[in-house]
Amino acid sequence: MTSTPRPTERLVVLGAGVMGTGISTLALGHGVSVTLVDTDPDQLARAEHGIADGLRLAQLMGRLPADTEPGTLLTTGSAQHVAGASAVIEAVTEDAALKARLLAEVSAAVRPGTLLISNTSSIPIDELADAVARPADLLGTHFMNPPSLIRTVEVVRGARTGDAAMAAVDDLLGALGRERVVVRDSPGFVTSRILHPMINTAARVVQQGTASVEAVDALMQGCLGHPTGPLRTADLIGIDNLVDSLLVLLERTGDESCRPCDLLLDKVRAGTLGRKSGAGFYTYEEDMR
């Protein structure tokens, strides 16, 4: 009988964008070794810099254990290392067909019982479970950006997620010093279902000329206690990812408040995607991204 690996032995992270970089930073800072996979070599190069900066910042802010030797990072353009994974976190572009294809490949390659995680913002886990060999091994985590600074993680239990996977994610998140809140599967779960239409409405208010970007964020912060303001949050998320997620929500719920407004669509067309591209609703110096 083969024993199930502890999820922290070697974490494979698929996708070296905003979230893959952030999740890798968090894991490495807690002593977990990471293999980071992306098909785009430029993204891998950016991620290596981002991880080094992120580790420095999180250490300076006291958000990582001071007495832990960082894990080792391996970056690669191919998923050939997936077979040896003790857990896999998928954090590629918010595209249901892409995620299903990748998760199918991964689940065919890993040992049975290996924890499979999707960090999707909105795609139901049970929909992705149709693609994998063992749906019981699959669940969702919704790490927020930046993962090393935000302590709470939304965990999504799909209809077919097994108890062993739930225990394994507890083990993993415990080792990463994260608190978890478990929710049922549904488009957008809790956080995206509430936050993403709200950001869309904030952008629509600007589009209609009711108030400036700065005024919307100042009111949401000053009067309603939102930590950064919805439009600064949009920049942090990435406006392309926000639009993808809104479209997933619109298609699966029919809720018209999720139809991305023209201002968001214009920004995606113009490539002003937020922090990661240097400009979105605000502009960012290179060293602030």
Residues tagged active-site: 142
Strand pairing category for 87-90 and 73-76: unpaired
Q: Which is nearer to ligand NAD, 19 or 87 (CB)?
A: 19
107 binds ligand NAD (CB under 6 A): no
Q: How far is the CB of 72 from ligand NAD (least distance, A)?
A: 20
* Residue 122 structure tokens: 């909105």
93 binds ligand NAD (CB under 6 A): yes
Q: Which is nearer to ligand NAD, 103 or 263 (CB)?
A: 103
Q: Which is nearer to ligand NAD, 19 or 172 (CB)?
A: 19
Q: Which is nearer to ligand NAD, 86 or 121 (CB)?
A: 121
User: Where does residue 62 rank: exposed (0-12), middle (13-18), buried (19+ CB within 10 A)?
Assistant: exposed
Query: Which of 75, 86, 114, 120 is the binder for ligand NAD (CB under 6 A)?
Result: 120
User: Where does residue 61 rank: exposed (0-12), middle (13-18), buried (19+ CB within 10 A)?
Assistant: exposed
234 binds ligand NAD (CB under 6 A): no
CA 153 to chain centre: 10
19 binds ligand NAD (CB under 6 A): yes
Handedness of CA 241, 239, 150, 285 (dihedral sign): positive
Piece in contact with ligand NAD (CB under 6 A), picked from 28-36, 237-245, 258-266, 277-285: 237-245
Query: Which of 197, 238, 260, 280 is the binder for ligand NAD (CB under 6 A)?
Result: 238
206 binds ligand NAD (CB under 6 A): no
| Residue keyed to tokens 């968001």 | 264
Interface pattern 139-178 for ligand NAD (x via CB under 6 A): ---xxxx---------------------------------
Distance CA 98, CA 279 (A): 27
Piece in contact with ligand NAD (CB under 6 A), picked from 8-16, 106-114, 130-138, 214-222: 8-16
CA 156 to chain centre: 13
Q: How far is the CB of 234 from ligand NAD (least distance, A)?
A: 9
Q: How far is the CB of 189 from ligand NAD (least distance, A)?
A: 10
Distance CA 1, CA 24 (A): 31
Q: Which is nearer to ligand NAD, 137 or 244 (CB)?
A: 244
Piece in contact with ligand NAD (CB under 6 A), picked from 2-10, 81-89, 235-243, 264-272: 235-243
How are the residues of the chain apportioned to helix, strand and coil, as percentages rounded to the nearest 5? 50, 15, 35
Strand pairing category for 138-142 and 152-157: antiparallel
Contact (Cβ atoms closer than 8 angstroms) between residue 158 and residue 185? yes
Handedness of CA 98, 135, 189, 43 (dihedral sign): negative
Q: How far is the CB of 276 from ligand NAD (least distance, A)?
A: 6
* Residue 22 structure tokens: 């952030």
With a CB cutoff of 8 Å and minimum separation 6, the contacts of 287 are: none
Query: Which of 18, 51, 73, 117 is the binder for ligand NAD (CB under 6 A)?
Result: 18
Q: Which residues contact ligand NAD (rule: CB under 6 A)?
A: 14-20, 37-40, 43, 91-94, 98, 102, 119-121, 142-145, 237-238, 241, 245
